[in-house]
């Protein structure tokens, strides 16, 4: 039969768009087109002997409990691994569950972590507050200069954690340079790749050992469910990452995995459209009299523009604006918008604007905020799927009200 010889039977020959619709599909006997949703917690076995072999790990691909093995979650993980170019992936209940697993699975008491200081709030909390409670010390560094990582490394440094671009000021960390430093000291590099997305930045190709996502963001991208993913080599994922997930249970639900797969089908379309609109908004607002600074990785005035061009294919979907007139002016802008909603979420079909100083970064001291660029006038815009002309008109109207 000629279908058997079709070169596209080889997943490696398929484009990401195709993988995100078909990758890892496991059809049931009903031959459903959409992916099957297995809402089941447990599995029964044909015999005691079979159960014994299964628990001994002698039956490959077998399922024994949905805390760590569910067919719907399997397909989602396989599709994410294909998108990322990773050997393996594990789904989690949320992005924070994924980040916490990626960090905790690789360290033990007495170890040391180096992390960039400009991090998503929850990630900073995990490395700065929680880990020291369990005997793992942390050094936070200004991530813009790789030398700062090199200087912070200690003989017991086991893990380096970075986010690039950072939330909310879109500073960059040189993934390749930091990977080399981490590996020279025998440490693993974990990259939170939410802001750049799997479409525009490939940390594993640049030397990262583990990549994490909040799937809540661009992967669902439609404001419906929480989810997280950790990706990397089979050795790390099927080893410590899987064991910690299995034994502590921050499991991605099958229902959420199914919703996230629906998100993956349109992920490239949505992220491309949102990125195109972001570039148009940046062009329209750059130089506006009421904005001190437009921050966008692929804007020439970005202090790390060359690095942005090198490690990110585009500037992605987020923009930071430093509004002239501080917090009062920033509030005026946000409160005058009609289409763009005030929300701290991101990567959504709806354009969302947030004032980090009074929301996501409220917990930090003013000194720490200013150190990471969170000024009183700073707002972060997550560009959605609305018409870019409407978004530009909305923002120009808001700026006029200041
Ligand atoms: C949202 C986010 C997280 C946490 O993800 P949740 O799904 O909200 O738990 C982690 N890192 C970054 C960069 C994020 O934007």
Output the pTM of the full model. Answer: 0.96
Q: Is the CB of 380 under 6 A from ligand 1?
A: no
Domain limit, last residue, from 205, 227, 262: 262
> Same structural domain for residues 237 and 129?
yes
Contact (Cβ atoms closer than 8 angstroms) between residue 172 and residue 54 = no
Domain limit, last residue, from 262, 280, 297: 262
Task: Report CA(125)–ligand 1 centroid distance (Å).
Answer: 12
Q: What is the pLDDT of residue 18?
A: 94
> Same structural domain for residues 239 and 387?
no
Question: Cα(353)–Cα(165) distance, rounded to whole angstroms?
Answer: 17
> Same structural domain for residues 233 and 122?
yes
Give the β-pairing of 318-323 and 378-382. antiparallel
Q: Is the CB of 304 under 6 A from ligand 1?
A: no
Task: Report CA(391)–ligand 1 centroid distance (Å).
Answer: 24
Q: Is the CB of 122 under 6 A from ligand 1?
A: yes
Q: Is the CB of 77 under 6 A from ligand 1?
A: no
> Same structural domain for residues 249 and 394?
no
Structure tokens at 187: 């440490």
Task: Report CA(312)–ligand 1 centroid distance (Å).
Answer: 19
H/E stretch holding 88 = strand 88-92
> Same structural domain for residues 90 and 233?
yes
CATH number, domain at 388? 3.90.1150.10
Using CA positions, which residue lies closest to atom 6 of ligand 1?
A: 95
> Same structural domain for residues 295 and 327?
yes
Q: What is the pLDDT of residue 12?
A: 85
DSSP, collapsed to helix, strand or coil, labels residue 140 as strand
CATH number, domain at 199? 3.40.640.10
Q: What is the pLDDT of residue 308?
A: 98
pLDDT (tens, 9 = 90+) of the chain, 402 residues, equals 689 999 999 888 999 999 999 999 999 999 999 999 999 999 999 999 999 999 888 988 788 899 999 999 999 999 999 999 999 999 999 999 999 999 999 999 999 999 999 999 899 999 999 999 999 999 999 999 999 999 999 999 999 999 999 999 999 999 999 999 999 999 999 999 999 999 999 999 999 999 999 999 999 999 999 999 999 999 999 999 999 999 999 999 999 999 999 999 999 999 999 999 999 999 999 999 999 999 999 999 999 999 999 999 999 999 999 999 999 999 999 999 999 999 999 999 999 999 999 998 988 899 988 888 899 999 999 999 999 999 999 999 999 999
Q: What is the pLDDT of residue 372?
A: 83
Q: What is the pLDDT of residue 371?
A: 87
Question: Cα(143)–Cα(192) distance, rounded to whole angstroms?
Answer: 13
Task: Report CA(95)–ligand 1 centroid distance (Å).
Answer: 5
Q: Is the CB of 216 under 6 A from ligand 1?
A: yes
Structure tokens at 40: 């089941």
Query: Domain of 306?
Result: 267-400
For the chain, what's the residue count? Answer: 402
Count of domains in the chain?
2
DSSP H helices, 85-145, are 95-104, 121-125, 131-133
Q: Which of 97, 122, 220 to mutate to test the pocket of ligand 1 (most atoms within 8 A of CB)?
A: 122
> Same structural domain for residues 166 and 285?
no
Could you identify the atom of ligand 1 that is nearest to the CA of residue 346?
15
Domain limit, last residue, from 262, 280, 302: 262
Task: Report CA(93)–ligand 1 centroid distance (Å).
Answer: 11
> Same structural domain for residues 85 and 70?
yes
Question: Cα(82)–Cα(21) distance, rounded to whole angstroms?
Answer: 11
> Same structural domain for residues 29 and 138?
yes
């Amino acid at each position: 039969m000629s279908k058997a010889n079709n070169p596209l039977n080889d997943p490696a020959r398929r484009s990401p768009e195709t993988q995100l619709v078909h990758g890892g599909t496991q059809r049931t006997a009903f031959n459903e087109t959409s992916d099957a949703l297995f809402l089941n917690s447990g599995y029964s076995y044909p015999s005691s002997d079979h159960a014994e072999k299964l628990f001994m790990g002698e039956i490959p691909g077998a399922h024994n409990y949905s805390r760590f093995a569910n067919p719907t979650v399997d397909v989602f993980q396989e599709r994410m691994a294909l998108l990322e170019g990773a050997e393996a992936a594990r789904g989690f209940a949320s992005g924070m569950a994924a980040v916490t697993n990626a960090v905790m699975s690789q360290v033990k008491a007495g170890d040391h972590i180096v992390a960039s200081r400009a991090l998503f709030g929850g990630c900073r909390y995990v490395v700065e507050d929680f880990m020291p409670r369990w005997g793992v010390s942390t050094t936070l560094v200004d991530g813009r200069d790789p030398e700062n990582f090199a200087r912070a490394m200690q003989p017991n440094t086991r893990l380096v954690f970075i986010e690039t671009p950072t939330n909310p000021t879109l500073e960059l960390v040189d993934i390749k340079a930091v990977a080399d430093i981490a590996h020279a000291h025998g440490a693993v590099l974990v990259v939170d790749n939410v802001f750049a997305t799997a479409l525009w930045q490939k940390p594993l190709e640049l030397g990262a050992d583990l990549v994490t996502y909040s799937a809540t963001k661009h992967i669902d991208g439609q404001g419906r469910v929480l989810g997280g993913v950790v990706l990397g080599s089979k050795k790390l994922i099927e080893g410590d990452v899987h064991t910690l997930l299995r034994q502590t249970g921050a499991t991605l639900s099958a229902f959420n995995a199914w919703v996230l797969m629906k998100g993956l089908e349109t992920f490239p379309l949505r992220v491309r459209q949102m990125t195109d609109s972001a570039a148009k908004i940046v062009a329209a607002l750059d130089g506006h009299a009421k904005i001190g600074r437009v921050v966008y990785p692929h804007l020439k005035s970005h202090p790390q523009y060359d690095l942005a061009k090198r490690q990110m294919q585009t500037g992605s979907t987020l923009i930071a604006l430093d509004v002239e007139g501080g917090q009062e002016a920033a509030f005026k802008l946000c409160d005058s918008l009609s289409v763009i909603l005030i929300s701290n979420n991101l990567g959504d079909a709806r354009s969302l604007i947030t004032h980090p100083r009074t929301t996501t970064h409220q917990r930090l001291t003013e000194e720490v905020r200013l150190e990471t660029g969170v000024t009183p006038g700073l707002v972060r815009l997550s560009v959605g799927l609305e018409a870019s002309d409407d978004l530009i008109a909305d923002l120009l109207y808001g700026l006029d009200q200041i």
